[in-house]
Amino acid sequence: MGSGGARYLVLSDMHFGTPRSSVNDARYRDALVSYMASRSPWDEIVLTGDLLDVNLSTLTRAIEGRRSGAVDLCGFRRFLQELEAKMKAEGQGKTLEDLAARWVYVPGNHDYKVWDMLATRVVCEDVLASGARIDGASMPLARYAWPGGTSFFAGIFQPFGVQARVQVEYPNHEVAFGPEAATMVFTHGHYLDPSQTRGHDLTDNLRGVTAPAHVRAVVRKIVIETAQYQTVANAVSFTEDTTRIVNDLVGPDGWLNKLRTVSANLATWLLRSLFWRDGSLRGDALSGRQLSNIDYYLERFCGYQPLPRWFVFGHTHRQGRGKTSRLGIEVYNAGSCYPDRGRPVTFLEVEADGAGVPRVRLMYVGADAVVSEAA
């Protein structure tokens, strides 16, 4: 998909299910919902990961919501209901069906469980159910797409009649623009972060690796290591106590800070004398190392030929833009629904002109609950 006049909305790191997400504040949520409805129709609404937070919450809370102390957790289902209501308020019989031609969900690290569940179905459950041998399946499954309502995630959209428009895709989603069909890649971005790949920095591991067999071996190892790390993070994060220690371990800090934090807190945590403390996660702004990892991610980890011209991601919770120095790829971070620099919600939109050339606009919901374009 992609042509002149095409329009895309990108929401990243909404973290449904966690108390600190700004989606729980009706003022900011309503501002975002109103903006989405008023700017409809969208060709695609792209959800670039950490949508349903299963590391720091559960699927039940992320989807259905829950009263959590003083915080009324807004689940993803309620978010869709409010979008439907806002579309109806627009008049002329509009519903959620009129909001977007397609919804695309690219799981990240906090919702890796969604990818894991769907991937397990493809390489295990469906294989065994067909009567075939499981040792004939190609594992690990590194990329896949569930189009047209074939994923369980699409069932959340069923009451609105748009489940056939929902696609789950991992690790990337691509859109082509213009007569040259130049590609824009949308992803979450956790493979760019060594803290999520068990220390396997893409630049360090793929620089100088050119032989196809060697590249495949390195990529396979990183995919497996990342999956193992996400499994551990998810396995112990179902109560407030375990959530707190997991947050220390898999949060945005570097490994040394994580070790210091865990060392300082582990003994008292075991004695159950410390309680949950709120605090905003702080991500990093675009750096030279991030940009370098993006080059290696696209060129060697994913093997794009030809290379994409644009790259959109999230993960760091810090909205921004830049350009890679080696391959010259334009980079945009969509931001998140965690407050950052006084902005409760950050997101982006893409609109192609008559010639099909895309313009990326960095947007935000301010503390005054007004949607504006970032400078």
CATH code for the domain of 110: 3.60.21.10
124 located within any domain:
yes
165 located within any domain:
yes
Decide: 43 and 7 in contact? Cβ < 8 Å: yes
Paired tokens of 311 = 């790259």
pLDDT at 231 over 80: yes
Cα-based angle 111, 97, 17 (whole degrees, multiple of 5): 25
pLDDT at 349 over 50: yes
Half-sphere exposure of 71 (CA within 13 A, CB side): 17
1 located within any domain:
no
**Listed range (234-238, 241-245, 272-276, 298-302) with the worst mean pLDDT:** 272-276
70 located within any domain:
yes
pLDDT of residue 271: 35
End-to-end Cα separation, the chain, in angstroms: 29
pLDDT of residue 257: 64
3-class SS at 108? coil
Decide: 16 and 111 in contact? Cβ < 8 Å: no
62: containing domain: 7-373
Tens of pLDDT, residue by residue over 250-281, are 555 555 665 666 565 544 433 332 222 332 23
150 located within any domain:
yes
- Residue 234's pLDDT band, with cuts at 50, 70 and 90, is confident
Average pLDDT over residues 191-219: 94
335 located within any domain:
yes
- Residue 375's pLDDT band, with cuts at 50, 70 and 90, is confident
Rounded Cα distance, 289 and 294, in Å: 9
Rounded Cα distance, 112 and 374, in Å: 30
pLDDT at 245 over 90: no
Closest CA to 44 of 188, 192, 191, 184: 184
pLDDT of residue 221: 96
List, in sequence order, every residue forming a beta bridge with 351; answer none if it has no partner: 7, 359
**Listed range (129-133, 209-213, 269-273, 335-339) with the worst mean pLDDT:** 269-273
Tens of pLDDT, residue by residue over 30-49, are 999 999 999 999 999 999 99
Rounded Cα distance, 8 and 184, in Å: 11
356 located within any domain:
yes
- Residue 68's pLDDT band, with cuts at 50, 70 and 90, is low
Q: How does the average pLDDT of the chain come out, rounded?
A: 88
Return the higher-pLDDT residue of 24 and 55: 24
Cis status of the peptide bond prior to 358, with omega within 30 of 0: no
Rounded Cα distance, 222 and 197, in Å: 6
pLDDT of residue 67: 75
DSSP 340: B
Tens of pLDDT, residue by residue over 290-312, are 999 999 999 999 999 999 999 99
The count of structural domains within the chain is 1
**Counting beta carbons within 10 angstroms of the beta carbon of residue 293, is it exposed (0 to 12), middle (13 to 18) or buried (19 or more)?**
buried
Which amino acid is residue 315, in one-letter code?
A: H
**Listed range (102-106, 111-115, 241-245, 267-271) with the worst mean pLDDT:** 267-271
Closest CA to 346 of 321, 322, 374, 323: 374
pTM above 0.85, yes or no: yes
